[in-house]
A and B are shown apart, each in its own frame.
Chain A
């Protein structure tokens, strides 16, 4: 099915470990986003990529890096995980049509111990 695919779905890391969250979309969308969702809070933008080859910081970029590998793939890397990064991470993509809106992946639940 067309959509946004995130891997892994679950991950437990020890403080200081690194990992990369993968995201791929097959809808030929230009824009891709990484959000984190914490209990009782709205989704917060970490990084986004308006088009292939460009990335920009969002609201909460500290501790993260991203790579827009090609038009389909947008990865999020935690270089040295901290307990404060325990969260659910969502990748989203958006087409150019005004009323498409975001298509979200199913999320990655990350726990840092």
Chain B
């Protein structure tokens, strides 16, 4: 069964600190992996997209990594800000078709 598992479910960090979120997937065949940020009461917004051949992609203070061999991805947030408080969702696209599988998300709370 195609699955996307994220960890941790939630975390609290102090403003200015770094954190790393994990995403493990079993979706196959693989097309691409996206990380989305979802603010409370809003729809998800895309942060990064990575294909099979890419292993690192940055978007400002967000850096995503992908290991397609082990089917793992991570999202690193550098020098966190209060505005980083949100849910972060890992989404894997299956090759050949419109099938997306969403992870359950990691809820991040940044405290001053």
Nearest Cβ on chain B to A48's Cβ, whole angstroms: 6
Question: Do B41 and A106 touch (CB < 8 A)?
Answer: yes
Q: Which among A50, A92, A101, A107 is the interface contact of B42 at CB below 8 angstroms?
A: A107
Number of residues of chain A lying within 8 A (CB) of chain B: 19
Known contacts A31-B98, A42-B89, A50-B98, A102 near B104 by CB under 8 Å: no
Q: Which among A45, A48, A101, A104 is the interface contact of B43 at CB below 8 angstroms?
A: A104
Residues of A within 8 A of B (CB): 4, 31, 40-45, 48, 50, 90, 92, 99, 101-102, 104-107
Contact with A along B1-13 (1 / 0, CB 8 A): 0001000010000
Q: Does B100 contact A (CB under 8 A)?
A: yes
Q: Shortest 4 CB-CB distances between A and B: which pairs?
A: A104-B43, A42-B102, A43-B102, A101-B46
B102 contacts across to A, CB distance below 8 A: 42-44
A48 to B101, CA, bound (A): 14
- What is the chain B residue whose CB lies nearest that of A40? B104
Q: Which among B4, B9, B43, B98 is the interface contact of A4 at CB below 8 angstroms?
A: B43
B41 contacts across to A, CB distance below 8 A: 106-107
B43 contacts across to A, CB distance below 8 A: 4, 90, 92, 104-107
Known contacts A40-B104, A42-B105, A106-B41, A101 near B49 by CB under 8 Å: yes
Given contacts A4-B43, A43-B89, A99-B49, 17 further A-B contacts (CB under 8 A): A31-B98, A42-B4, A42-B89, A42-B102, A42-B105, A43-B102, A44-B102, A45-B100, A50-B98, A92-B43, A101-B34, A101-B46, A102-B100, A104-B45, A106-B41, A107-B42, A107-B43
Residue contacts A-B, CB under 8 angstroms, 20 given: A31-B98, A40-B9, A40-B104, A42-B101, A42-B103, A42-B105, A44-B102, A45-B100, A50-B98, A90-B43, A92-B43, A101-B34, A101-B46, A101-B49, A102-B46, A104-B43, A104-B44, A105-B43, A106-B41, A107-B43
